[in-house]
């Protein structure tokens, strides 16, 4: 089956424009995240030191803030980078890893919301906790379904004037008024560390590309799910899946 036209176009934009994507992400997933962005055609950079991060955020096309391995110095660097990105008119994306389950990161992410992210990508429990509706999940694991978090995602999107993607077995992407549903993927995607964090980086990069931002984020989610489905068919388990997943992204086709 041919992909939806926005997905076709998003691949073209990635490979034509190679968006420079500044990823302040967690230590566990940096290499995988960089490789996923490279497979899409983006240009990843992992600049963490506060002084450099502040400078680089204004240069990059997009910024990702992922709080998976948050520390006090890293939080300070992240805030400086977000302020710099905003001053330069560059979009930034928040991945609120384990928000609601842990107090320090929950407070930090709530503070960052005042700096108006372009997009927020999280699992159901994270999005509900960020919206103030629940206490959060079990660490990085959600205890809620994506559909149950949709009202919270829509309310958060309206409040922040942002795109909110609540991802899981089914992804829901909303700007508070419009909502897109993305199906597909494979359970093996949950058995490899970093697929969700890498998706957040792809979402961040997509926010810097031409077109409707809601369409771009939905297309990013759809492309990742399609790559996951194709990789699962070609793999024997989690180890071979990670390699097959990168290959599947590399072979995604854009519009003719």
E-strand ranges in the chain read 20-24, 43-45, 62-66, 92-95, 119-122, 163-166, 171-174, 179-182
Instruction: Report whether 167 belongs to an annotated binding site.
Output: yes
Instruction: Report whether 121 belongs to an annotated binding site.
Output: yes
Distances (CA, A) of 113 to 125, 198, 226: 17, 21, 31
Instruction: Report whether 160 belongs to an annotated binding site.
Output: no
Instruction: Report whether 71 belongs to an annotated binding site.
Output: no
d(CA 95, CA 238): 23
The strand pair at 43-45 and 163-166 is best described as unpaired
Q: Residue 232: which H helix or E strand, with range? A: helix 213-234
Distances (CA, A) of 223 to 9, 76, 187, 249: 11, 33, 16, 8
Q: Can you say which residues are annotated as belonging to the binding site for ATP? A: 121, 167
Q: Can you say which residues are annotated as belonging to the binding site for substrate? A: 46, 194
Q: Can you say which residues are annotated as belonging to the binding site? A: 46, 121, 167, 194
């Amino acid at each position: 089956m041919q992909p939806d036209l926005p997905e076709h176009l998003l691949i073209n934009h990635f490979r034509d424009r190679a968006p420079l994507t500044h990823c302040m992400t967690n230590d566990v997933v940096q290499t995988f995240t960089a490789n996923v962005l490279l497979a899409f055609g983006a240009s990843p950079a992992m600049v963490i030191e506060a002084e450099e991060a502040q400078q680089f955020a204004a240069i990059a096309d997009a910024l990702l803030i992922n709080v998976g391995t948050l520390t006090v110095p890293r939080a300070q660097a992240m805030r400086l980078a977000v302020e710099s990105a905003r001053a330069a008119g560059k979009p930034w994306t928040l991945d609120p890893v384990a928000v609601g389950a842990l107090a320090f990161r929950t407070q930090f992410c709530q503070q960052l919301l005042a700096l108006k992210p372009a997009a927020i990508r999280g699992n159901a429990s994270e999005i509900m906790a960020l919206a103030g509706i629940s206490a959060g999940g079990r660490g990085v694991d959600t205890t809620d379904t994506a559909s149950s978090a949709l009202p919270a995602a829509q309310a958060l999107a309206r409040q922040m004037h942002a795109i909110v993607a609540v991802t899981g077995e089914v992804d829901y992407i909303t700007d508070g008024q419009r909502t897109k549903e993305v199906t597909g993927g494979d359970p093996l995607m949950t058995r490899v560390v970093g697929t969700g964090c890498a998706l957040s980086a792809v979402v961040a990069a997509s926010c810097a590309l031409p077109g409707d931002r809601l369409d771009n984020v939905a297309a990013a989610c759809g492309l990742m799910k399609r790559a996951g489905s194709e990789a699962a068919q070609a793999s024997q388990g989690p180890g071979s899946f990670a390699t097959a997943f990168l290959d599947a992204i590399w072979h995604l086709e854009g519009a003719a």
